[in-house]
């Protein structure tokens, strides 16, 4: 083991049960090697309240660490080695704009339940909590959209228009029951007449990484590797999901690869750190190829050096803080998700 890795392991050993390190599947192999738990967004958020460690270090992007902080028990501190690691999709939904849009829809007489993808700020989750809504992840989006549709007249799904379309497709919601909101000019251009007819109102955001995976890439992969199986993340455009053999969360993609027969060729459409890890893991048994090589620059901001630097100063490091009034409403939204999924 090189210096940095032995330093991290020594720090982990010294902290023992006081520390738990969580890592998202998009973290690099060098970071993942030091995690106690690895998972998709749903698995990691479920894990947090069960942990007994006083210090939780979240290797991922900021909204994930923030959700962990909202779900953490009294006295637990959540840290992240790269607090500036944002998410392009999360940035597309500012909380004041969401609140303004919900208020306009409400004034127009619509009872709308907001459902935010977990890739959003704590403030956005708090607005959803206050308006009777909840949160979903890519792994439970179908369950949660069905839940939200059962709450009122319409659902506002945000920020990901691709996950919205793909989930609506799995529920069989027809195209004319959906309406993509025009949120420009601070929400003053909403088409309230169109919004009043739709059951699913869609925020026009997307992931700058997954939006690049196109149906033509799937066609090219099938031409280059006849008989290959293609699986993609549901943040990809709906045309890409329809062209693929399967779609699901990062954990689904891992499972799909594990279950594919020996000798198969799998083409996976998601962030490259995960695809390269799967390719290494199954080398000699199955061929795993990226649909396209794309790295999430924000996920890459967590490095072994930054993890070591955080662990060295953990007792005096500033944890992730969420203002109590935001945390309370965001917690309500997240708890509704955990409860609805426990019942499903």
For residues 75 to 114, the per-residue mask of contacts with ligand 13P, x marking binding by CB under 6 A and - elsewhere, is ----------------------------------------
Give CA separation, 54 vs 74, 109, 140, 153, 302, in Å.
Answer: 9, 46, 28, 42, 21
Q: Does 87 bind ligand SF4 (CB under 6 A)?
A: yes
* Contacting ligand 13P within 4-43 (CB under 6 A): 25, 40-41
Binding ligand 13P by CB under 6 A: which of 28, 88, 113, 119? 119
The full 3-state SS of the chain, as one line of letters, equals CCHHHHHHHHHHHHHHHHEEEEEECCCCHHHHCCCCEEECHHHHHHHHHHCCCCEEEEECCHHHHHHHHHHCCCCCEEECCCCCCCCHHHHCCCHHHHHHHHHHHHHCCCCEEEEEECCCCHHHHHHHHHCCCEEECCCCHHHHHHHHHCCCCEEEEECEHHHHHHHHHHHCCCHHHEEECCCCHHHCCCCHHHHHHCCEEECCECCCCHHHCCHHHHHHHHHHCCCCEEEECCCCCHHHHHHCCEECCHHHHHHHHHHCCCCCEEEEECCHHHHHHHHHHCCCCCEEEECCCCCCCCHHHCCHHHHHHHHHCHHHCCCCCCCHHHHHHHHHHHHHHHHHHHHC
Handedness of CA 319, 321, 324, 328 (dihedral sign): negative
Binding ligand 13P by CB under 6 A: which of 137, 162, 298, 331? 137
Stretch that binds ligand SF4, among 96-104, 207-215, 257-265, 309-317 (CB under 6 A): 207-215
Residues binding ligand SF4: number (CB under 6 A): 14
- Minimum CB distance to ligand 13P smaller for 151 or for 208: 208
Stretch that binds ligand SF4, among 105-113, 133-141, 292-300, 327-335 (CB under 6 A): 292-300
| Among ligand 13P, ligand SF4, none, partner that 41 touches (CB below 5 to 8 angstroms by kind) | ligand 13P
Q: Does 207 bind ligand 13P (CB under 6 A)?
A: yes
Binding ligand SF4 by CB under 6 A: which of 15, 139, 299, 334? 299
Stretch that binds ligand 13P, among 7-15, 135-143, 169-177, 187-195 (CB under 6 A): 135-143
Q: Does 40 bind ligand SF4 (CB under 6 A)?
A: no
| Among ligand 13P, ligand SF4, none, partner that 155 touches (CB below 5 to 8 angstroms by kind) | none
| Among ligand 13P, ligand SF4, none, partner that 88 touches (CB below 5 to 8 angstroms by kind) | ligand SF4
Question: Please, what is the minimum distance in Å from the beta carbon of residue 297 to ligand SF4?
Answer: 8
Question: Please, what is the minimum distance in Å from the beta carbon of residue 142 to ligand 13P?
Answer: 13
Residues found near ligand 13P in the complex (CB under 6 A) = 25, 40-41, 119, 137-139, 207, 233, 235, 249-250
User: Which residues lie near ligand SF4 (CB under 6 A)?
Assistant: 61, 87-89, 119, 207-210, 235, 271, 296, 298-299
């Amino acid at each position: 083991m090189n210096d940095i890795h032995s330093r991290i392991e020594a720090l982990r050993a010294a902290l023992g049960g006081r520390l738990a390190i969580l890592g998202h599947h998009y973290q690099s192999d060098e970071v993942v090697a030091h995690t106690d738990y690895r998972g998709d967004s749903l698995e990691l958020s479920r894990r947090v309240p069960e942990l007994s460690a006083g210090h939780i270090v979240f290797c991922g992007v900021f909204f994930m660490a923030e959700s962990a902080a909202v779900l953490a028990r009294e006295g637990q501190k959540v840290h992240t080695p790269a607090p500036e690691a944002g998410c392009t999709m999360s940035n597309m939904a500012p909380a004041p704009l969401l609140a303004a849009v919900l208020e306009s829809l409400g004034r127009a007489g619509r009872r709308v339940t907001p459902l935010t993808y977990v890739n959003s700020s704590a403030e956005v989750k708090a607005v959803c909590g206050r308006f009777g809504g909840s949160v979903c992840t890519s792994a439970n989006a179908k369950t949660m959209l069905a839940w939200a549709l059962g709450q009122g007249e319409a659902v506002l799904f945000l920020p990901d228009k691709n996950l919205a379309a793909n989930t609506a497709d799995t529920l069989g919601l027809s195209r004319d029951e959906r309406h993509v909101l025009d949120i420009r000019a601070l929400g003053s251009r909403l088409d309230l007449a169109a919004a009043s007819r739709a059951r699913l109102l869609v925020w026009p955001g997307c992931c700058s990484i997954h939006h690049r995976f196109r149906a033509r890439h799937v066609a090219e992969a099938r031409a280059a590797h006849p008989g290959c199986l293609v699986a993609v993340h549901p943040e990809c455009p709906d045309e890409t999901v329809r062209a693929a053999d399967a779609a699901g969360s990062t954990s689904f993609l891992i499972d799909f690869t594990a279950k594919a027969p020996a000798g198969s060729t799998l083409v996976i459409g998601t962030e490259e750190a995960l695809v390269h890890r799967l390719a290494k893991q199954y080398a000699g048994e199955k061929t795993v190829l990226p649909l396209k090589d794309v790295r999430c620059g924000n996920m890459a901001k967590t490095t072994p050096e930054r993890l070591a630097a955080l662990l060295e100063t953990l007792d005096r490091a500033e944890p992730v803080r969420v203002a109590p009034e935001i945390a309370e409403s965001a917690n309500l939204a997240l708890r509704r998700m955990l409860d609805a999924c426990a019942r499903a």
